[in-house]
């Protein structure tokens, strides 16, 4: 049975392939359309602070307190009123000490000072702290050998966070530092956005599970495991629907199971081959917003809806699956999770090897950042760039991004480089 024979009328290309000349759309257009089409999840969960790590903050946190709570010393030293040190040779009487957690109880009279430790409350009457290293003690008197500017070494109450200030905005992706900041204002529970539920499956009659043997012509279903890991890295709630055969019936059954999720990510079966039914069944069961994107690897990519779920049909070639996930699905899921997709960090670096490129599609070559013998940063492309060579992805730590119109690039030329280890979660506006 050929693809066209198996398709009812609703499968016709004109239904879901909007561009009249069927031209793949540029990546930035595809990304903008996808991110725009996403509605962030607005269901919140109240969790203990520690469970908020790598979640998206659902409600802004406003501080009830000043941090620090009182003026305090940023040095181990002596506190005094700067006006009390007049002429050279003036000394101060040491009348007590202020330690962190043990403030000085008394009041300072003119010409007096206290020993003060880092974090200790600055007593009334003190406006300056001199670091210990710049003083000398003679009996109960302090000689200030090097006078700091008046007001030095005092952290003002509320200097870090003032009462009423927004500590973190809704939409923040919480990292360790954010957890510490929230703890510093005495927050022990927070609202986080419910994690997106993302159904995923791979398609292909040739695919076999990784815990059994394979026959000639069969391959291990590596993409599903790669997708599961990519989703886990993003903190998504992945729903593994297994391997689905190359038939409209099998796909319909899988689509039914995926419907209740927030997003669906599939691998394979989105191209124009005789066994590629994903786009057709999506057109039948849901909607196809667009189908082809002008990138290499990864041209066939279907974006649409399946019930309330957003649908991402990724190509089956493993590098294409990974590249399209990173470039298109990941920002969309970040948005869906209530976060803000970060603008990718891009560097201009010289390539160490010639790059082959024919004009037409934006290319994402796999490469490594290297430091040359003369100490400069450069980029070294991986030898094998085939879209089936997943080792190229595994060995790489960055993409070389070549614009659509680019031709071959000789070694030594500057190219645009997008490191993998970059910010994924941007800051709320
Ligand atoms: P497709 O996009 O279905 O035409 O598949 C393109 C290529 O990717 C074919 O060589 C497939 O065998 C391979 N492929 C498809 N799905 C997977 C998968 N889950 N794991 C590894 N390779 C795959
Ligand atoms: Mg296939």
The answer on 420 and 321 residing in a single domain is: no
pLDDT tens digit sequence for 334-359: 999 999 999 999 999 999 999 999 99
Candidate of 229, 251, 317 to mutate for ligand 1, largest count of ligand atoms within 8 Å of Cβ: 317
pTM score of the predicted model: 0.89
CATH number for the domain including 238?
3.40.980.10
Shared domain check, 215 and 285: yes
In this structure, how many other beta carbons lie within 10 angstroms of the beta carbon of residue 267?
A: 32
Question: Is there an atom of ligand 1 within 6 Å of 222 CB?
Answer: yes
Do 59 and 77 have their domain in common? no
- 298 and 267 co-located in one domain: yes
Low-confidence ranges of the chain (pLDDT < 70): 1-22, 422-423
Looking at the structure, do residues 14 and 79 belong to the same domain, yes or no?
no
As residues whose CB is below 5 A from the ion ligand 2, the structure lists 204, 268-269, 316
Count Cα neighbours of 89 within 13 Å in the Cβ-side half-sphere: 1
| CB within 8 Å of 304: residues ≥ 6 apart | 16, 282, 283, 286, 287, 288, 289, 310, 311, 313
pLDDT at 8: 39
Question: Phi/psi of residue 101, each to 5°?
Answer: 85, -10
Q: CATH number of the domain that 150 lies in?
A: 2.170.190.11
DSSP element (H, E) containing 245: none
Q: Whose CA is nearest to atom 14 of ligand 1?
A: 316
126 and 172 share one domain: no
Q: Among 341, 369, 404, identify where a domain stops.
A: 341
The finding on whether 226 has its CB within 6 A of some atom of ligand 1 is: no
| 168 & 143 share domain | no
Residue for token pair 């690039």: 409
> 408 and 332, same structural domain?
no
Same domain, 336 and 405: no
226/363 same-domain check = no
Find the domain containing 228 and state its range. Answer: 3-43+195-341
CATH assignment at residue 172? 3.90.105.10
CB atoms closer than 10 angstroms to residue 233: 11
Q: Are the C-beta atoms of 80 and 112 separated by less than 8 Å?
A: yes
The answer on 207 and 142 residing in a single domain is no
Q: In a 3-state reduction of DSSP, which class is residue 427?
A: coil
Helix (H) or strand (E) holding 262: none
Q: Which of 341, 371, 397 represents a domain boundary (last residue)? A: 341
Per-residue confidence (pLDDT) for residue 159, from 0 to 100: 95
Spacing, Cα 280 to ligand 2 middle (Å): 14
How do 287-292 and 340-341 pair as beta strands? Answer: unpaired
DSSP letter assigned to residue 121: B
Can you give the pLDDT at residue 1?
36
Q: Of the candidates 316, 341, 366, which is a domain's last residue?
A: 341
Give yes or no: residues 171 and 61 share one domain. Answer: yes
Specify the CATH number for the domain of residue 389.
2.40.340.10
**Number of folded domains in the chain?**
4
* Residue 207 CB–ligand 1 contact under 6 Å: yes
The pLDDT assigned to 66 comes to: 97
pLDDT digits (tens, 9 = 90+) for 264-306: 999 999 998 999 999 999 999 999 999 999 999 998 999 999 9
Question: Of the residues 3, 201, 202, 204, which should be mutated to test ligand 1's pocket, given the most ligand atoms within 8 Å of the CB?
Answer: 204
């Amino acid at each position: 049975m050929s693809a066209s024979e198996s398709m009812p009328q609703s499968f016709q290309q004109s239904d879901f392939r909007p561009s009249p000349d069927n031209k793949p759309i540029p990546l930035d257009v595809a990304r903008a359309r996808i991110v725009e089409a996403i509605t962030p999840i607005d269901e919140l969960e109240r969790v203990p602070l520690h469970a908020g790590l790598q979640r998206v903050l659902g409600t802004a946190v406003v501080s009830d307190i000043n941090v620090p709570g009182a003026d305090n010393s940023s040095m181990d030293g002596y506190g005094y009123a700067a006006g009390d040190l007049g002429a050279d040779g003036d000394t101060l009487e040491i009348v007590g000490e202020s330690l962190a957690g043990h403030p000085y109880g008394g009041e300072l009279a003119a010409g007096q000072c206290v020993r003060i430790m880092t974090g200790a409350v600055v007593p009334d009457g003190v406006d300056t702290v001199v670091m210990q290293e710049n003083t000398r003690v003679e009996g109960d008197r302090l000689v200030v050998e090097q006078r700091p500017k008046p007001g030095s070494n005092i952290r003002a109450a509320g200097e870090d966070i003032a009462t009423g200030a927004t500590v973190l905005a809704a939409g923040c992706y919480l990292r360790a530092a954010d957890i510490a900041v929230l703890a510093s204002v005495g927050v022990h529970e927070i609202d986080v956005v419910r994690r997106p539920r993302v159904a995923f499956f791979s398609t292909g009659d040739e695919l076999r599970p990784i815990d059994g043997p394979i026959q000639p012509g069969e391959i291990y279903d590596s993409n599903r495991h790669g997708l599961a890991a990519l989703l886990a890295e993003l903190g998504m709630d992945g729903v593994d629907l297994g391997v689905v055969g190359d038939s409209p019936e099998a796909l319909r059954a899988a689509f039914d199971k995926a419907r209740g999720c927030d997003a669906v990510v599939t691998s394979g079966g989105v191209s124009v081959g005789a066994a590629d039914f994903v786009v057709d069944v999506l057109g039948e069961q849901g909607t196809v917003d667009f189908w082809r994107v002008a990138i290499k690897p990864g041209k066939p990519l279907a974006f649409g809806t399946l019930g309330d779920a957003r649908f991402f049909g990724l190509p089956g070639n493993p590098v294409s699956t990974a590249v399209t996930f990173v470039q298109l699905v990941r920002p969309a899921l970040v948005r869906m999770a209530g976060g803000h997709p970060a603008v990718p960090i891009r560097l201009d670096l010289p390539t160490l090897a010639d790059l082959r490129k024919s004009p037409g599609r934006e290319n994402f070559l796999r490469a490594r950042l290297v430091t040359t013998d003369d100490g400069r940063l450069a980029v070294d492309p991986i030898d094998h760039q085939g879209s089936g060579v997943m080792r190229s992805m595994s060995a790489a730590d960055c993409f070389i991004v070549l614009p659509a119109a680019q031709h071959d690039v000789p070694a030594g030329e500057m190219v645009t480089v997008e490191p993998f280890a970059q910010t994924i979660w941007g800051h709320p506006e």
